[in-house]
Amino acid sequence: MKPEDVKIIIADESHISYVDTILSTIEAAAKVRGTGIAKRDPEYVKKKIREGKAVIALYGDEFAGFSYIETWGNKEYVTTSGLIVPEKFRGMGLARRIKHQTFSLARKRWPEAKIFSLTSGAAVMKLNTALGYLPVTFADLTDDEDFWKGCQGCVNYDVLQRTGRRYCICTGMLFDPKQKMCTDAAKRELKSEKKSFWKRIFSNKD
């Protein structure tokens, strides 16, 4: 199997049938990692797909990866979430390609929004860093209660509660479109993509 045989596309109605597989793959991976996860309702994921906010990777008809985006705090912030690549497809750069797509989607739809990530995963930290995210304290993230409710399913939720939502096991990382350092890094990272791909992400003045 070659990486280029896997397509990474914006998911649509025709991919709703993959939702159960997506969720069971995320759940199984969280068990292996010993982490909690923001429990996702199938209807919620279907909604993301129907709204054009999800990216799916397919090898033929076989599920090879997924992630979606969501806005918080009156669209001031965006997250890319639920990144998953089944074991069989790992280590061939699919997560990087999926992340490029979700990042691009977020930049295109909400160019003024800050993009953030709350993660304990080394791979995700690497991908975020390459795209210009910087580590921040939780005070720099959204105060949207609905976002933080997502942490309730995590095994470490008590830590978050104990610290008054100031610290936890996860690292907060933020891409601020107003910081040149961030946009320069993203441009460097996305240079490997076709020109048409990354050009549409940034406004002309950048």
Ligand X SMILES: CC(C)(COP(=O)(O)OP(=O)(O)OC[C@H]1O[C@@H](n2cnc3c(N)ncnc32)[C@H](O)[C@@H]1OP(=O)(O)O)[C@@H](O)C(=O)NCCC(=O)NCCS
Q: Which of 22, 49, 83, 174 binds ligand X (CB under 6 A)?
A: 83
- Of the pair 88, 200, the CB lying nearest ligand X is at 88
- Of the pair 16, 125, the CB lying nearest ligand X is at 125
CB of 196 to ligand X, least distance (A): 22
Q: Angle at the Cα of 36 (from 78 to 69), degrees rounded to 5?
A: 20
Q: Which of 124, 154, 174, 190 binds ligand X (CB under 6 A)?
A: 124
Q: Which of 6, 49, 78, 95 binds ligand X (CB under 6 A)?
A: 95
Binding positions for ligand X, 11-50, rule CB under 6 A:
29, 33
Quickly tell me which residue has 């998911």 as its tokens.
11
- Of the pair 20, 206, the CB lying nearest ligand X is at 20
Q: Which of 10, 123, 134, 169 binds ligand X (CB under 6 A)?
A: 123
CB of 112 to ligand X, least distance (A): 25
Counting contacts by CB under 6 A, is residue 121 touching ligand X? yes
CB of 29 to ligand X, least distance (A): 4
Distance CA 151, CA 137 (A): 16
CB of 203 to ligand X, least distance (A): 27
Across the strands, what pairs with 55? 10, 67
Phi/psi at 145 (nearest 5 deg)?
Answer: -60, -35
Site residues (vs ligand X, CB under 6 A): 29, 33, 83-85, 90-96, 119, 121-124, 126-127
